Amino acid sequence: MVEDDSYLGSLRGVYVLVLRFLKDVAVRVGSLGEVRFNFGYYGYVGSGMGRGASSLFGRIRRHLSNSKLIFWHIDYVTSLDEVKVAAVFFAESGTRLEHAVSKALKAVGAIVVRGFGSSDCDEGCGGHMFFIGNSLEEAFSTIFNAFKKLGIESKVLSFPKEAW
């Protein structure tokens, strides 16, 4: 266990938030309008390349928080009672990899949610949110395969099933 929080606040890298939608939902997401999500697992790709709140763990901490202002596309989803965070895959990196991971997820069969989380994307990803399976095993396999395709070793923060 790392006791020095300043260490975590300086880590940089890429992450995939594994979200479990407990049922079909439609949610109004800022300028995207209404977005429909089916029951199952989704992966949201992001990066934390700064320090403190903009670091890898700063970004992840924000996604896990129940008290945040709704600002980013993902905030609209993570604030829903029907959506639970099941796990977070992450890899430390000094270079921005969220576009590469998004493209790798598409290459291994993940289904992109058009325009979600990619309003600033200029790399043609199509979106940074993906349907990744109907089971946790399928979701994990999809993400592992995407990271493997890139030759990146990832770590996983998994949460007890009672939490989701």
| HEC string for 74-134 | HHHHHCCCCEEEEEEEEEECCCCCHHHHHHHHHHCCCEECCCCCCCCCCCCCCCCEEEEEC
Structural contact between residues 78 and 63, judged by C-beta atoms closer than 8 angstroms: yes
User: Please, which residues bridge with residue 133 across strands?
Assistant: 41
* Residue 136 placed within a domain: yes
pLDDT band at 124 (very low <50, low <70, confident <90, very high): confident
* Residue 148 placed within a domain: yes
| Of residues 163, 25, 152, 160, the one with CA closest to residue 93 | 152
* Residue 87 placed within a domain: yes
Can you give the pTM of this predicted structure?
0.92
pLDDT band at 119 (very low <50, low <70, confident <90, very high): confident
Question: How crowded is the C-beta side of 50, counted as CA atoms within 13 Å?
Answer: 7
pLDDT tops 60 at residue 139: yes
Domain that holds residue 28: 7-158
Tens digits of per-residue pLDDT, 50-108?
Answer: 999 999 999 999 999 988 999 999 999 999 999 999 999 999 999 999 999 999 999 99
* Residue 163 placed within a domain: no
pLDDT of residue 162: 60
pLDDT of residue 31: 87
pLDDT of residue 4: 47
For residue 144 the two structure tokens come to: 């592992």
Tens digits of per-residue pLDDT, 4-19?
Answer: 456 567 899 999 999 9
* Residue 16 placed within a domain: yes
| Residue positions counted in the chain | 164
Q: Which residue has the higher pLDDT, 2 or 5?
A: 5
* Residue 38 placed within a domain: yes
φ and ψ at residue 20, rounded to 5 degrees: -105, 120
pLDDT of residue 92: 95
Instruction: Count up the domains in the chain and report the number.
Output: 1
* Residue 1 placed within a domain: no
φ and ψ at residue 102, rounded to 5 degrees: -60, -45
* Residue 164 placed within a domain: no
